[in-house]
Every structure is written in C-alpha cells, then in structure tokens.
Amino acid sequence: MADYPPISEQLDDLESARVEGHRKMDWARQHMPIMTTIQEEFVADKPLSGQRIGMAMHVEAKTAVLVETLAEGGAEVAVTGCNPLSTHDDVSAALDEHPNITCYAKRGVDDEGYYEAIESVIDLEPTITVDDGMDMVAAIHEDHPELIETVVGGCEETTTGVHRLRAMDADGALDYPVFAVNDTPMKRLFDNVHGTGESSLATIAMTTNLSWAGKNVVVGGYGYCGKGVAKKAAGQNANVIVTEVEPRRALEAHMEGYDVMPMAEAAEVGDVFITTTGNRDVITGEHFEVMKDGVLLANAGHFDVEVNLNELADLAVAERDARDGVHEYEMKDGRRLNVIAEGRLVNLAAPIALGHPVEVMDQSFGVQSVCVREMVENGEQYDAGVHDVPDELDKEIAEIKLDADGVEFDSLTDEQEEYLGSWQHGT
Ligand code: NAI
C-alpha cells in the first residue's frame, strides 16, 4: 500500500481551499455545455457503475468537471496530477470532498511525491485509466503488471502520451487497449491548435507583462500546437519564425508566409522562443551562446526537455528569479536569458497559468467522457494496443456543441449519400 495522503490531509486551511475550488469549478461548469449534457446523462444512467477509474491529469477546474462527471456516472475515482506544477490545490481539495473521488494532486510536489501519488491512485486497482502523458499506464505496466488482468482499458489525452503508447505498442509491451483521444478531430483541431495557441501566448504575456507586437517569435515545431501558437502570435502582430525537422510541415509553414529556418539561425534573431515539438533538446547550448540579451524562453510541449536547462545553467554565471515564473540566467558576457515556468508546459505550469480556455476543454473532456463510457460498455471488443476513437463518438460531441451554440447545419440527402458511396458516377 502506498502511503501518500490525499490533498485533504495535506492542506492547512482546507475549508477555504474547498470554497475557492468549488467557485472555480462552478465557473468552468457554466461554460461547459457538452460536459453538462454528458453529466446529466451519466447521472441518469450511471453507465460507469462498479468501475474504478485511476487518473493522472492536470488537476485544475476544467479537469475537475471531467473527474466529477466520471464519478457522477457511478465510478469510484482516484486522481493525481500529471505535472508537478499544474495542480490547483484548491480545486484538488474541492474534488477530494466528493464521496466517490480521492484526489492526491498537490502543486509543487517533488519527483518522489509525484510518483508516490501515482502509486496511491494505483492502490484503487483501476479498471479504467485516464492519462495525460501516459505516466499511469507506465506505472501499472512496470510496477503492477498483476493488475492488468482486471483493467478494461484506458484513454490518453495528449500527443506525447499517444507517441509513448504507440512506441510501447510497437514493442509489444502494451497489454490493454487505450484510446488515442488526442488524435480525434474534436480534440486535436481545437485543443492543440486554438487552446495551446491562445493559452500559451496569454500566459507568457501575463507572466512577463511584455507585448508581442513587433517581436520575433520563434516557434519550435509546426505541428498542431505550433500552428496554433504561430497563428495567434501573428495575430498579435509578431513576426513569426518557424523551425521544423519534417519537410512537409516546414513547407506548410513557409506557404503560410512564416519565415522558416534552422534553430541555429533563429537563435540569433528571436526575441521569444516557444517550443511545441514533444521532442528533447530543441534549444541547447549552441543556441544560448548566440541569443540576444533579454530573450524569453518558453515550452508548450508536454515534458520539460525541449529547452535544455542543464546546459543553460552550465553556461550561466548567475541566476535569479526576475519575476514570478521568470528565471533569469546571466551569461558571462552579461546577456540575460529568461526561462518561463522552469521550461515546463507554460500554459499550465506558470504561476498564473489557467490552461486552455474552458470551451476548448469542454470538447476534449467530452470526448474523454464518451471514450470512458465506450470502454466500459464495449471494452471486450478492443484488443490490447492503441485504438483510434470511433468516429461516431467524436461526431456525438460535435453535435452536442453545435446544438448548445444554436448552430444548425445540413445533412446529406439519400441521393448524395448514394453518390458519395458509388464508384460508378464518372464524367
Ligand atoms: P505534432 O506531432 O503535431 O507536432 C510536433 C511537431 O514538432 C512535428 O511537426 C515535428 O516534426 C516537430 N519536431 C519534432 N522535433 C523537432 C525539432 N527538434 N525541431 C523542430 N521541430 C521538431 O504534436 P502536437 O500535437 O503539436 O503536440 C506537441 C507537444 O505539445 C506534445 O508534447 C503534446 O503532448 C503537447 N501538447 C501540449 C498542450 C498544452 O496544453 N501545452 C496541448 C496539447 C499538446
């Protein structure tokens, strides 16, 4: 048995934390029509009765609505964070108050506490796992393989988690089915693009109190997140420079009108650097050596490996916190390089970070909820491995959202359906 305690046993002023946590959740819920609809269905039908759900997610207000929805669906839920800096303790405390939820997430835990909390979640012996980054799946496979037999399946929220799962699957090491929630249109085209773009830029601006206008903003990686960051930065009158390693993505950025160049060149001209690659060592010592005085360095990828902070610390002659969430490294020639949120995903880990806009997470967590329901109802139909989310589930979420927003759209006539399904109609 792990002995890492729930958040309620860790906070001094538990009552006021809970009040504030509930206030944040109320605000999120008010702007989550998809989750409200699903929660009503789950309360009425209890589709998750008898399930034990183990989760490692960013514990803040929107995620809390997901956790609550799964609990209201009849499951017993244990949850912890998926990043040591993204937890809101007040929300964590409010969640832990729910009779079917135990919440272990605490902001600022050290590595040991982070992994002990995951162990405490695993004590629940989950039948379903919900991950953001795959740490829960990894811990179960590596340290508790005896539990796999009773796991029905899992859901993975982010690109990095899906990459890790696919690598595990390719090695034949993934022993239960997991939905790649990240890869659905309703998640990736909105959350990764608009969510990461808006919230990363907003967080950097609020953390530094600096403007985007006229700045050279270097976006490392032009995938879904990079596209969002580039688009929103351009919309704030920045000059966007993209670095890439994939030729078609580099070409796409070029055709969008952005400057594309290697990081070695971008390092010399950039004012703000935002990495969104899911890869390590995108910005390293050779780049720090040539950067301008005063640059801002931020990462929006899942892990804190994109900006090599060890190499930066080795080059620095002095370090200090220039502001809350901004750590300044002084080079021996006097240049100052500023790292935001310790190089952890900036839109969730900076002190004032709130993560993605509520509406965006309503969609992502809508998909999560119906994927958990699908795993519970039809889990036996899925072999061990990574699975695409069935398209009808993704469409179900889009339809709820359009309905909530009062947007009507067309449907195919029978003749159109027949035409689209036929190979015989030529010129
Ligand atoms: P993606 O796979 O669509 O894009 C990543 C891009 O980075 C690819 O085009 C790839 O070619 C490029 N890349 C890889 N190594 C590179 C290098 N050394 N230099 C330049 N480019 C390089 O992935 P997506 O969906 O954009 O996700 C990126 C990361 O962001 C992942 O770690 C994901 O988990 C995370 N993420 C973060 C969110 C947040 O809230 N901050 C939200 C969603 C995803």
- In a shared domain, residues 296 and 372: no
Domain end, chosen from 323, 349, 375, is at 349
Structural domain containing residue 114: 7-187+357-404
Is residue 426 assigned to a domain? no
- pLDDT for res 427: 75
The answer on pLDDT for 332 being more than 80 is yes
Ligand 1 environment, Cβ below 6 A: 158-160, 191-192, 196, 220-226, 243-246, 249, 276-279, 282, 300-302, 345, 347-348
Q: Identify the residue whose C-alpha is closest to ligand 1 atom 14.
A: 277
Give the number of the atom of ligand 1 that is nearest the alpha carbon of residue 355: 40
Closest CA to 39 of 75, 91, 90, 78: 75
Give the number of the atom of ligand 1 that is nearest the alpha carbon of residue 277: 7
Cβ contact 186:396 at 8 Å: no
- Determine the residue of 62, 189, 276 to mutate for testing ligand 1's pocket, defined as the one with the most ligand atoms within 8 A of the Cβ atom: 276
Mean pLDDT across the stretch 160-173?
97
pLDDT in tens, 312-329: 999 999 999 999 999 999
pLDDT in tens, 193-231: 999 999 999 999 999 999 999 999 999 999 999 999 999
Determine the residue type at 318: A
- In a shared domain, residues 173 and 204: no
- pLDDT for res 95: 98
Q: Per-residue DSSP letters for 72-139?
A: HTT-EEEEE-SSTT---HHHHHHHHTSTTEEE---TT--HHHHHHHHHHHHTT--SEEEESSSHHHHH
Cβ contact 129:161 at 8 Å: no
Helix (H, G, I), strand (E, B) or coil at 363: helix
Is residue 423 assigned to a domain? no
- Cα 210 from Cα 201, distance rounded (Å): 11
Copy the structure tokens of residue 70: 């799964």
Q: Identify the residue whose C-alpha is closest to ligand 1 atom 3.
A: 223
User: Residue 37 sits in a domain of what CATH number?
Assistant: 3.40.50.1480
Give the number of the atom of ligand 1 that is nearest the alpha carbon of residue 243: 20
Residues 6+ apart with CB under 8 A from 32: 62, 65, 358, 359, 361, 362, 365
Q: Identify the residue whose C-alpha is closest to ligand 1 atom 32.
A: 278
pLDDT in tens, 227-243: 999 999 999 999 999 99
301 Cα: distance to centroid of ligand 1 (angstroms): 6
- Determine the residue of 63, 164, 302 to mutate for testing ligand 1's pocket, defined as the one with the most ligand atoms within 8 A of the Cβ atom: 302
Mean pLDDT across the stretch 62-87?
97
Domain end, chosen from 306, 331, 349, is at 349
- In a shared domain, residues 19 and 50: yes
| Centroid of chain to Cα 247 | 26
Copy the structure tokens of residue 375: 């795993």
426 pLDDT band, cuts 50/70/90, is: confident
3 pLDDT band, cuts 50/70/90, is: confident
Mean pLDDT across the stretch 58-69?
98
Closest CA to 21 of 87, 85, 95, 76: 95
- In a shared domain, residues 87 and 149: yes
Mean pLDDT of the chain: 97
Domain end, chosen from 304, 327, 349, is at 349
Question: Pairing relation of β-strands 259-260 and 272-275?
Answer: unpaired
- In a shared domain, residues 181 and 279: no
Mean pLDDT across the stretch 31-39?
97
The answer on pLDDT for 2 being more than 90 is no
Cβ contact 29:37 at 8 Å: no
- pLDDT for res 215: 98
Mean pLDDT across the stretch 151-168?
97
- In a shared domain, residues 231 and 150: no
155 Cα: distance to centroid of ligand 1 (angstroms): 19
- Determine the residue of 186, 277, 280 to mutate for testing ligand 1's pocket, defined as the one with the most ligand atoms within 8 A of the Cβ atom: 277
228 Cα: distance to centroid of ligand 1 (angstroms): 11
- In a shared domain, residues 168 and 221: no
The answer on pLDDT for 425 being more than 90 is no
Number of domains in the chain: 2
Copy the structure tokens of residue 63: 């995620």
DSSP state of 283: B
- In a shared domain, residues 271 and 395: no
- In a shared domain, residues 213 and 333: yes
- In a shared domain, residues 181 and 203: no
- In a shared domain, residues 105 and 156: yes
User: Residue 259 sits in a domain of what CATH number?
Assistant: 3.40.50.720
The answer on pLDDT for 343 being more than 90 is yes
Surface-to-core class of residue 286, CB atoms within 10 Å of its CB (0-12 exposed, 13-18 middle, 19+ buried): exposed
Mean pLDDT across the stretch 259-277?
98
Is residue 415 assigned to a domain? no
Is residue 11 assigned to a domain? yes
Determine the residue type at 131: D
Is residue 248 assigned to a domain? yes
Mean pLDDT across the stretch 76-103?
97
Is residue 424 assigned to a domain? no
Q: What is the pTM of this model?
A: 0.94
- Cα 96 from Cα 23, distance rounded (Å): 15
Q: Per-residue DSSP letters for 19-72?
A: HHHHHHHHHHHHT-HHHHHHHHHHHHH-TTTT-EEEEE---SHHHHHHHHHHHH
pLDDT in tens, 347-381: 999 999 999 999 999 999 999 999 999 999 999 99
Give the number of the atom of ligand 1 that is nearest the alpha carbon of residue 222: 9
- pLDDT for res 1: 76
Is residue 427 assigned to a domain? no
The answer on pLDDT for 151 being more than 90 is yes
- In a shared domain, residues 127 and 100: yes
Closest CA to 372 of 128, 57, 39: 128
- Determine the residue of 83, 135, 159 to mutate for testing ligand 1's pocket, defined as the one with the most ligand atoms within 8 A of the Cβ atom: 159
Is residue 367 assigned to a domain? yes
